[in-house]
């Protein structure tokens, strides 16, 4: 399977028995969504958040399949009826399973290529370091596999790892944050070297770029990289920039920016860095700052779904910057202000499923 367009790469093609982690821009068969329900923390916000889920699913369904998990047969019928009105029902695969929450980025499977075929890796999800109950979510991939939701095999990996904590370039590079992957609540028996060794084996890595700086107020993931800095292609990183010295994020994000400037791509050249604006501060009803970020975008076939938050000037600036990072993609803005009420955003809700994963 060809997953990258850069002809200069020597390590793009897999060898027998070797794993290769696919980048998000690899051709996709679909996107995974786990629908909100009344027995989750979404209960007070369902009327606000369900329209956002529909917008995401519709945008994806016009380009590829959508794998949706719902909590009841009644909700399955409701979702199918909605997409039937749009003549998109053939794009949906809907399954009924119990779930704790909706963050498919972190409980969904991560796709690698092994022996020239897609393989799903099922890591343990422990609610971002046992902050929240996640037993049903960490069991979901195996249950979906048992229902033949996937057209390829699922391999269980004994490691706590969330999809939002990693970025891949398709050429053996992993971008991540030390605060998250080295958190003692994830894999306390493993040090940095042990984690690097296991990830290098299971993802076919040549190197890991560790970001040691950067955070968002209100974030309970221990600084997932997908809220801060994102690979857009093997040579480009879009990242959150804070230019207000009075903002609580300024020092950490400036240090992150400086570190990104020191990184080189897999060919040894400095990355093209595309700064994204700091989102206008959002607060919960209790007055807590919410982790709104434009970096939490999703790459799909031919388009990028970009979360926006209702500040027209900043939203438009983010759209313009994303067009620089993705000159050949449509930029589809989706208002995710309701989603950050539960301390996540668009990318956190979704997991891309590369070609060959869905029948």
What is the set of active-site residues? 348
- CA–CA gap between residue 250 and residue 263 (Å, rounded): 20
Phi-psi region of 55 (alpha: psi -120 to 50; beta: other; left: phi over 0): alpha
Handedness of CA 26, 324, 108, 334 (dihedral sign): negative
Cβ proximity of 212 and 253 under 8 Å: no
Residue with the two structure tokens 């084996």: 201
User: What does 311-359 look like in DSSP terms, one character per residue?
Assistant: -HHHHHHHHHHHHHH-TTSEEEEEE-TTGGGGT--HHHHEEEEETTS--
Q: Which of 116, 118, 112 is nearest to 161 (CA)?
A: 112
Pair type for strands 303-308 and 110-114: unpaired
Cβ proximity of 30 and 66 under 8 Å: yes
Pair type for strands 19-21 and 92-96: unpaired
């Amino acid at each position: 399977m060809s997953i990258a367009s850069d002809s200069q790469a020597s390590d793009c093609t897999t060898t027998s028995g070797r794993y290769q982690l696919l980048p998000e821009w690899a051709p996709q068969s679909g996107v995974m969504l786990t629908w909100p329900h009344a027995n989750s923390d979404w209960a007070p916000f369902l009327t606000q958040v369900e329209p956002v889920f529909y917008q995401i699913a519709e945008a994806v369904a016009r380009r590829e399949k959508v794998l949706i998990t719902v909590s009841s047969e009644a909700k399955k019928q409701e979702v199918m009826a909605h997409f039937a009105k749009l003549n998109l029902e053939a794009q949906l695969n809907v399954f009924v399973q119990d779930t704790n929450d909706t963050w498919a980025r972190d409980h969904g499977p991560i796709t690698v290529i092994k022996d020239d075929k897609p393989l799903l890796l099922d890591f343990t999800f422990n609610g971002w370091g046992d902050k929240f109950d996640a037993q049903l979510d960490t069991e979901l991939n195996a249950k979906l596999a048992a229902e033949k939701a996937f057209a390829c095999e699922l391999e269980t990996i004994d490691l706590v790892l969330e999809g939002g904590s990693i970025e891949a370039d398709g050429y053996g590079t992993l971008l991540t944050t030390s605060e998250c992957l080295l958190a003692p609540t994830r894999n306390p028996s493993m040090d940095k070297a042990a984690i690097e060794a296991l990830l290098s084996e299971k993802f076919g890595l040549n190197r890991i770029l560790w970001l040691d700086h950067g955070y968002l107020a209100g974030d309970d993931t221990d600084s997932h990289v997908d809220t801060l800095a994102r690979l857009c292609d093997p040579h480009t990183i879009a990242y959150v920039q804070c230019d207000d010295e009075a903002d609580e994020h300024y020092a950490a994000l400036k240090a992150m920016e400086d570190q990104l400037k020191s990184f080189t791509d897999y060919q040894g050249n400095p990355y093209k860095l595309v700064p994204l604006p700091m989102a206008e501060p959002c607060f919960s009803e209790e007055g807590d700052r919410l982790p709104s970020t434009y970096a939490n975008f999703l790459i799909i076939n031919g388009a990028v779904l970009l979360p926006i938050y209702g500040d027209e000037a900043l939203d438009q600036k983010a759209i313009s910057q994303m067009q620089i990072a993705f000159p050949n993609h449509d930029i589809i803005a989706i208002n995710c202000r309701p989603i950050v009420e539960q301390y996540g955003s668009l990318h956190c809700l979704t997991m891309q499923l590369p070609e060959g994963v869905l029948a």
